[in-house]
Structure 1
Amino acid sequence: MFWKFDLHTTSHIDTLLEKDDVTLTEVMDEEDVLQECKSQNHKLVDFLVRPQCMEDLVGYITQEPNDDVEEKIKYKYPNISCELLTSDVSQINDMLGEDENLLMKLYSFLQNEPPLNPLLASFFSKVLSILIGRKPEQIVEFLRKREDFVDLMIKHIGTSAIMDLLLRMLTCIEPQQLRQDVLNWLNEEKVIQRLVDMVQPSQDEDRHSNASQSLCEIIRLSRDQMFQVQGCSEPDPLLATLEKQETVEQLLSNIFIKEKNDSAVVSVIQILLTLFETRRPICPPGMNHPSFSVNQSILDAVRPRLKDFHQLLLEPPKKTVLNTTWGVLDPPVGNTRLNVVRLVTSLLQTNTHIINQELIALNTLGVILDMYFKYLWNNFLHTQVEICTAMILAMPSTQSESPEINRDQEDQEPIRENILIKHLFQKCQLIQRILDAWGSNEKEQAEGGRRRGYMGHLTRIANSIVHNSDKGPNGAQIQQLISELPEEDRERWEAFTSGQLADINKKNTVDLVSGLCFIFSDDEVDFKDSGFHQDSSIQQAFSDYQMQQMTSNFIEQFGFNDEEFADQDDVGDIPFDRISDINFSLNTNESANMALFEACCKEKIQQFEDAGSDEEDIWDEKDVTFAPEAQRCPRYCNPWNSSKRVFHHARVLILHGFLPIIKQSCCLDTEEWLPNETTPTSPRGNVGDGLNPEEEPASDRITETVTNGSMKETVSLTVDAKTETAVFKR
């Protein structure tokens, strides 16, 4: 409406620009200069695209401010200049993208010696990025003419803004053919090899991190592009270079031939983990796509280096002793060893026979298990070990692994041997170590000690063994390996799985009914001393009322309040999505109950979604006739139904005091109220003692104060014994 009626006042910039001697800084000092520029104020835009103004704007974001400038305004003009140049105004984009002198002035920022000013670098990257998006042909042509462009990008790769600019060139250039040309150009300039050379101990951590992140993003972006554009005839040259065996070998040589460096090792492992990432096959069976499997050349390059990674687990880069509240770690696990374990997990996921054999020969899994039980409180390590064991127990054996005949019974099918499972049970003695660790933990706890930090993961590992021995693809082999354990260990395992493990699983299982009993505490409602005759129908009525109380408590526990059920005009806008997060499994015929409930209430209670319509008011005086005996609803309509109407109708019934009057609640059980045939009575007293049925004796009147929006009113309910109807009155 503000713009529709043109109620805005004229900007002071218009008056300022009428001056002949107005300067750029004067204009930039105006508070609304950015707003006016983005709204394409013609006078302002014409002023900004003047050659001198454009040159000054570019100069602000490429040149360091003078040291004598006050600190709080030192970067004021560079910041405003960046915002003006990236306001996405076509005249500014045209002027900047098509003027080579301005582009050279902008490009000169890269020619500064490192380290670059990070703030100015972000301004420079932002401006060049928007030009790449808006003027891709001109910018690509300009950059390809600069022979030192790739050299400068790699030189400043330690500055995050420059890394972002490189990635922007891979993602934001359109059309597809132009993007392909850029990829070919960057590949010819050996950008991948240069980034790989940055990840070595002689470089600083910033270069390690940014070069590694750049390579990881190139892998992901290239694979995504290949997956989405399946009809593309040309492969991604950067990805192809990265996946070459010699490239991966060079990457590994950087960290193993020279001194060990924690940052460089972790950065290389991050690149390898990204290379090992695969997509889930979502295409039709039989369709082959490189995103679904790991390139064999990568595995061929990594396999000879497995012994070096294994040695890193034994002798990681030196770490200072770490004092913790739980004791002294000498040495701590460290980022290097944790990432080596992650690498082993990814290698196991490829399920390559020659890799599996190498890991078994090195006993890498045994070393990882030693670390698991040594470092009691490193849950990052425990999680990776749990994933490793679960993967080994569940993975099928490789094709190279020969089947082994079970000679105990010749009629049994041959068991295909999984060499990793055999190694895990025999060489690594996984079951014995689980039993020993469990016993030691219980002993420490009995002596007043704390529960060890890995016990939760150990429980899941034990459960994984039990599950896979019963239903897993390697179940027969696991059962056979367990049967080959020494008799003492086998008996201990059987006692453990049927005793301690079963007990802890029972404790860890959340019983929904128990949880509901806790939520629906009926401490506040005691029906033992109600004073009513213990008739079965009355007992049922109170049982239904108790269910109503539990429903109310449930509503309060999960955040529903009275206002959400009020009959306000805007009740339809009340958020009602929280109930959808609650999952109950109740054996009820919900659709039938709902239909019966609606039939019982639709003519007497106005649906709250119709609030504000011209239909009758639910608070108007009216008769309520209950269904006859033959049409009663089945007992216990589902109180947890997520429909708004169910909660609203139940709420209205509760507010009007139906439950104490009828034998059983109309909400939960629609059995009618039938007065005594000889002496008509109501639960509060007699109404057939010769009194006029239209009169309202005090003993027969039930009042209830209800809130309707901002008003409160008291309504009364009178039961007519002759017509067997209930009448609301204000």
Structure 2
Amino acid sequence: MFWRMTGLSTTSPVETILDKENYTLEELLDEDEIIQECKALNNRLINFLRERTQVEQLVRYIVEEPPEDAEKGRTFKFPFIACEIFTCEVDIILKALVEDDELMNLLFSFLDPEHPHSTLLAGYFSKVVVCLLLRKTVPLMNYIQAHKDIIQKLVDLIGITSIMEVLIRLIGADEHLYTSYLESMQWLEDIDVLEMIVDKFSSTDCPEVHANAAEALCAITRYAPPGLTAKISSPSFISRLFRHALEESRPKSVLVNSLSVCISLLDPKRQTSGTFYIYNRQSTHGSVVTAKPETVEGMLESLGSLLKLLDVSSEENVLFTTYGQLKPPLGKNRLKIIEFISVLMTVSSEAAEKELIRLGALKRILELFFEYPYNNFVHHHIEHIIDSCLESKNTSLIQHILEACHLVRKILDAEKNCALNSDPKNPTLPAEGRTPPRIGNIGHMTRIANKLIEQGANNSYIESYLQGDSEWVEWHTDVLTKRNTLENVYQWACGRPTTLHDRGRDSDDDDYQDRDYDVAALANNLSQAFRYGIYENDDNDEAHGSLDRDDEVCVIKFY
């Protein structure tokens, strides 16, 4: 219960201003309760703000940079409040803006090349346009259709993330928000917006532009209207994308982000952004991804040139680590290529499998697994590649991974010599004067070995191959079986109930057992951390603000 107390005024400060004979927009914007009054639909306030003069001034606060000598309120508070007024979604104010071409011209003048594009104002501009897209979809799309150069201007500023978000929503690549307005958006399929975006890979060297262009294209693969989806998955577009990716003079970020688009085309549900998230391995691993055959064939045309990059890395580049040195590091390019191959294998395309066998890709990838024994990210993808081979119905692929690639022999040799090899021909070398550490991929090799046993139970060829290797049989009996028993967490007492394995699977702890982390997303997220200088290394100039750092990320493995 609330009591009315005498002596306390309940009049809003906004009402006090409105009661004055002469008041200005700035007086209202300077009052903290103006947003609350807008949301409460204060009639006197709304009728004042809907006037054309006031709407124009609100737009100017959003799109025009303040003078150098402007007060703090004009520089920061007024643009923020102006943006919030529009995003309160008061229909009469939005209508006053969207139905006036001159005001819309003023709003979109922010995109003009000669206009300064500060990140702060770009965010406010983005919020207002997105609000109009959601609440005034048809009139806004009609305006943009009459001013198609807006699309090109948005693409030119795609390096600004908030502008990229406007572009993504505008072309309908945001969870089908505009399924009720397909007729208003049909014209977008007739313009070359995809070509505009993909050509940003060749028109600039800015990594932020490349990353945002890839993000926009990935969004199109997931949510765009059918017309744009058909265009982006066509062989001609794939060829154009690879042409930019494989151009020798282009920065590393072009190849990495181009392959992110290809991965999204193969598996649209796969997350390719830098967002940190939990990856449910149970729900994705082993599942077959369906991609259009013409899309896969378009990628196979450039596969040979792409795989050549697995052997290209600057030998002069040396990265010193806690365990020794990498000469050269694996690098982002080769890691992304292997991730791409991992996703390509899940498509179960016979043509792709034959091409990978013919080009010797699987053999080279397996070599990288053992050449970089401390790179968890590459181990994760290569394990998925091996699992896809073993689960394949193509007998020639299984024979290739076992016989031509010598998978079992490599595992046994690595288990026999589990210390880091000091051979100078290896890219991963131990520190001089110290005992070589244990290699870090034993855990992944254990899972691969268990996968071999699992598939051998259902595949007579795999079973006979394993049984025909006496060294494998001995290692399986003496080492692998004991290791699996030791690492079975359900048998650990450690102060917990020994009957842990008998309880129901209904707690958060049980759900955790079914989860794994998407190390590709973690790698990308860690790159973003280096990009913003969160983990700076004063001894390494390359660590400061570079997205192109071609280094090896070290991760401590736990068994």
TM-score, structure 2 length as denominator?
0.78
2:240 maps to 250
Query: Does the 8 Å contact 1:136/1:174 carry over to 2?
Result: no
Alpha-carbon distance between aligned partners in 2 of 1:122 and 1:163, rounded to the nearest angstrom = 11
Question: Does residue 1:186 correspond to 2:170, yes or no?
Answer: no
1:50 positional shift: 2.2
1:341 positional shift: 0.5
2:194 corresponds to which letter in structure 1? Answer: I
1:499 corresponds to which letter in structure 2? Answer: D
1:202 positional shift: 4.1
1:251 corresponds to which letter in structure 2? Answer: L
SS in 2 for 1:74: helix
1:379 positional shift: 0.4
Question: Does residue 1:365 correspond to 2:362, yes or no?
Answer: yes
Bigger relative CO (Cα 8 Å, ≥ 6 apart): 2
Alpha-carbon distance between aligned partners in 1 of 2:178 and 2:449, rounded to the nearest angstrom = 54
Query: Does the 8 Å contact 2:401/2:407 carry over to 1?
Result: yes
Query: Does the 8 Å contact 2:318/2:325 carry over to 1?
Result: yes
1:28 maps to 29
Alpha-carbon distance between aligned partners in 2 of 1:76 and 1:278, rounded to the nearest angstrom = 41
Structure 1 residues 260 and 15 mapped into 2: Cα distance closer, same or farther (>3 Å)? Answer: closer
Deviations 1:528-574 (A, max 9, x none): xxxxxxxxxxxxxxxxxxxxxx9xxx9xxxxxxxxxxxxxxxxxxxx
Structure 1 residues 73 and 453 mapped into 2: Cα distance closer, same or farther (>3 Å)? Answer: farther
Alpha-carbon distance between aligned partners in 1 of 2:385 and 2:462, rounded to the nearest angstrom = 16
Q: Kindly, what percent of the aligned residue pairs are identical? A: 30
1:158 positional shift: 1.3
Question: Does residue 1:457 correspond to 2:444, yes or no?
Answer: yes
Deviations 1:415-469 (A, max 9, x none): xxx112211122211111111100111799xx97543211100111111112211
2:329 maps to 332
Alpha-carbon distance between aligned partners in 2 of 1:339 and 1:358, rounded to the nearest angstrom = 19
Structure 1 residues 339 and 117 mapped into 2: Cα distance closer, same or farther (>3 Å)? Answer: same
Query: Does the 8 Å contact 1:150/1:189 carry over to 2?
Result: no
1:518 positional shift: 2.3
1:579-598 correspondence to structure 2 within 5 Å: 580-581=507-508
Aligned length: 475
Structure 1 residues 176 and 434 mapped into 2: Cα distance closer, same or farther (>3 Å)? Answer: closer
SS in 1 for 2:202: coil
Query: Does the 8 Å contact 2:138/2:184 carry over to 1?
Result: no
1:194-593 correspondence to structure 2 within 5 Å: 194-200=196-202, 202-222=204-224, 236-277=226-267, 293-316=290-313, 320-397=317-394, 418-441=395-418, 450-469=437-456, 471-472=457-458, 475-482=459-466, 490-512=469-491, 514-515=492-493, 518-519=495-496, 580-581=507-508
2:424 maps to none
SS in 2 for 1:65: coil
1:432 corresponds to which letter in structure 2? Answer: R
1:61-100 correspondence to structure 2 within 5 Å: 61-70=62-71, 74-100=75-101
Alpha-carbon distance between aligned partners in 1 of 2:298 and 2:396, rounded to the nearest angstrom = 23
Alpha-carbon distance between aligned partners in 2 of 1:110 and 1:343, rounded to the nearest angstrom = 35
1:112 positional shift: 3.8
Alpha-carbon distance between aligned partners in 1 of 2:472 and 2:82, rounded to the nearest angstrom = 72
1:131 maps to 132
Structure 1 residues 308 and 201 mapped into 2: Cα distance closer, same or farther (>3 Å)? Answer: farther
SS in 1 for 2:418: helix
Alpha-carbon distance between aligned partners in 1 of 2:218 and 2:237, rounded to the nearest angstrom = 14
Query: Does the 8 Å contact 2:235/2:298 carry over to 1?
Result: yes
Alpha-carbon distance between aligned partners in 2 of 1:371 and 1:27, rounded to the nearest angstrom = 65
Structure 1 residues 128 and 175 mapped into 2: Cα distance closer, same or farther (>3 Å)? Answer: closer
1:275 positional shift: 0.7
Alpha-carbon distance between aligned partners in 2 of 1:438 and 1:394, rounded to the nearest angstrom = 24
Deviations 1:466-514 (A, max 9, x none): 2211x23xx2111333356xxxxx22111100001111111101245x5
2:463 corresponds to which letter in structure 1? Answer: Q
Query: Does the 8 Å contact 1:143/1:149 carry over to 2?
Result: yes
Query: Does the 8 Å contact 2:65/2:116 carry over to 1?
Result: no
Query: Does the 8 Å contact 1:261/1:317 carry over to 2?
Result: no
Structure 1 residues 298 and 100 mapped into 2: Cα distance closer, same or farther (>3 Å)? Answer: same
Alpha-carbon distance between aligned partners in 2 of 1:436 and 1:79, rounded to the nearest angstrom = 64
Structure 1 residues 148 and 440 mapped into 2: Cα distance closer, same or farther (>3 Å)? Answer: same
For the pair shown, the structure with the greater C-alpha radius of gyration is: 1
SS in 1 for 2:325: strand
1:72 positional shift: 7.9
Alpha-carbon distance between aligned partners in 1 of 2:180 and 2:353, rounded to the nearest angstrom = 42
Greater mean alpha carbon deviation, residues 435-444 or residues 305-314: 435-444
1:247 positional shift: 0.7
Alpha-carbon distance between aligned partners in 1 of 2:367 and 2:209, rounded to the nearest angstrom = 34
Alpha-carbon distance between aligned partners in 2 of 1:322 and 1:90, rounded to the nearest angstrom = 58
Structure 1 residues 56 and 258 mapped into 2: Cα distance closer, same or farther (>3 Å)? Answer: same
Structure 1 residues 356 and 519 mapped into 2: Cα distance closer, same or farther (>3 Å)? Answer: closer
Deviations 1:664-696 (A, max 9, x none): xxxxxxxxxxxxxxxxxxxxxxxxxxxxxxxxx
Alpha-carbon distance between aligned partners in 2 of 1:114 and 1:248, rounded to the nearest angstrom = 34
Query: Does the 8 Å contact 2:420/2:439 carry over to 1?
Result: no
1:2 positional shift: 6.4
Structure 1 residues 2 and 79 mapped into 2: Cα distance closer, same or farther (>3 Å)? Answer: farther
Alpha-carbon distance between aligned partners in 1 of 2:407 and 2:349, rounded to the nearest angstrom = 22
Deviations 1:235-267 (A, max 9, x none): 711001111111101111112244253100011
Query: Does the 8 Å contact 1:278/1:292 carry over to 2?
Result: no
1:107 corresponds to which letter in structure 2? Answer: F
1:99-114 correspondence to structure 2 within 5 Å: 99-113=100-114
Query: Does the 8 Å contact 1:307/1:362 carry over to 2?
Result: yes
Greater mean alpha carbon deviation, residues 8-17 or residues 500-509: 8-17
Query: Does the 8 Å contact 1:390/1:461 carry over to 2?
Result: yes
Alpha-carbon distance between aligned partners in 2 of 1:178 and 1:161, rounded to the nearest angstrom = 23
Alpha-carbon distance between aligned partners in 2 of 1:173 and 1:393, rounded to the nearest angstrom = 38
Alpha-carbon distance between aligned partners in 2 of 1:355 and 1:4, rounded to the nearest angstrom = 77
1:17 maps to 18
1:560 maps to none
Structure 1 residues 385 and 520 mapped into 2: Cα distance closer, same or farther (>3 Å)? Answer: closer
Alpha-carbon distance between aligned partners in 2 of 1:39 and 1:23, rounded to the nearest angstrom = 21
1:244 corresponds to which letter in structure 2? Answer: S
Structure 1 residues 306 and 438 mapped into 2: Cα distance closer, same or farther (>3 Å)? Answer: same
Structure 1 residues 338 and 157 mapped into 2: Cα distance closer, same or farther (>3 Å)? Answer: same
1:441 corresponds to which letter in structure 2? Answer: C
Unmatched runs of 5 consecutive residues or more in structure 1: 223-234, 281-290, 398-417, 485-489, 522-549, 555-577, 584-730
Query: Does the 8 Å contact 1:422/1:481 carry over to 2?
Result: no
SS in 2 for 1:142: helix
1:163 corresponds to which letter in structure 2? Answer: M
Alpha-carbon distance between aligned partners in 2 of 1:132 and 1:3, rounded to the nearest angstrom = 44
2:276 maps to none
Alpha-carbon distance between aligned partners in 2 of 1:580 and 1:348, rounded to the nearest angstrom = 34
Query: Does the 8 Å contact 2:323/2:437 carry over to 1?
Result: no
1:177 positional shift: 5.5
Query: Does the 8 Å contact 2:214/2:258 carry over to 1?
Result: yes
